[in-house]
Amino acid sequence: MNTNLNISNSEYDDLISKKAQKSPMLRNIFFAFVIGGLICMLGQFINDTLQNYGISKDDASIYTSISLIFIGAFLTSINLYSRLGKIAGAGSTIPITGFSNSIVAPAIEFKSEGYVLGIGANMFKVAGPVLVYGVTSTVILGFVYYLFNYIF
């Protein structure tokens, strides 16, 4: 028997694609759609209720974000958001509750390394890039917007 592998990297790669278990796409999409949609409806409900109580539109939308972030943080801290994420996938990752989850989860986990170097330093381990690229792209495009609307 030849002791060397008679297979090239690309042949092996093809073999993996052929044999690997596939994600259950339809099931995943169904739950992502439904749970993602429901979280947004919950946001709408909070928003409408606040506005009914006479809170201004702008403030209501900020309170809505804060409420959803609280819900995400709470569900994370009672170990439920990770379970939800297993079923909902992107349906629970993409809403703002998922942003909250991605901040709270490392904060809980890195407590064992202390308050400063553990919780403090690792809180934005997952969500940090969201702020970096969100803010950077906003400032750059804000500058472009300023040039086009106020200079030219």
Partner 1 sequence: MKIGKQTIKLNSKPCIYSTSSIVGPKEMQGPLAQYFDMHIKDIFFEEKSFEKAESKMLESCINNLIVKSGISQKDIDVIFSGDLLNQCISSGFAIRDFDVPFLGLYGACSTFCEGLLLSSLLIEGNTANQVIASASSHFCSAERQFRLPLEHGNQKSPTAQATVTASGAALVTNRAVADNGIHITHVTPGKIIDLGVKDMSNMGAAMAPAAFSTISNHLTDTGRDIDYYDYIFTGDLGVHGSDMLRELFKNEGIDISSKHKDCGVIIYDENTQDVNCGGSGCGCIASVFSSYIFNELKAKNLNKILLVATGALMSPLSSSQGESIPGIAHAIAIENEV
Partner 2 sequence: MDTLLTYGSVFLTGGIICTIGQILIDKTKLSPARILTLFVTLGVVFTFLGIYQPIVEFGKCGATVPICGFGYSLFKGTVNAIAEKGFIGIFTGGVTATAGGIAAAIVFGFLASLFAKPTIK
List binders of partner 2 among 51-80 (CB under 8 A): 61-66, 68-70, 73-74, 76-79
Q: Is the dihedral of CA 48, 51, 53, 55 positive or negative?
A: positive
CA 19, chain centre distance (Å): 30
- Contact indicator for 76, 82 with CB cutoff of 8 Å: yes
The size of the interface with partner 1 (CB under 8 A), counted in residues, is 44
Answer yes or no whether residue 145 interacts with partner 2 by CB under 8 A. yes
- Contact indicator for 106, 125 with CB cutoff of 8 Å: yes
Q: Which is nearer to partner 2, 15 or 138 (CB)?
A: 138
1-9, 13-21, 144-152 -> range binding partner 2 (CB under 8 A): 144-152
Residue in the structure block whose two tokens are 């995400």: 72
Q: x/- binding map, residues 98-127, to partner 2, per CB under 8 A?
A: xxx-xxx--xxxxx-------x---x--xx
Give Cβ neighbours of residue 50 (< 8 Å, ≥ 6 apart): 59, 60, 63, 64
Task: Give me the residues that bind partner 1 (CB under 8 A), please.
Answer: 1-7, 9, 12-13, 15-16, 19-24, 28, 76-77, 79, 81-86, 88-89, 92-93, 98, 101-102, 104-106, 108-110, 112, 125-126
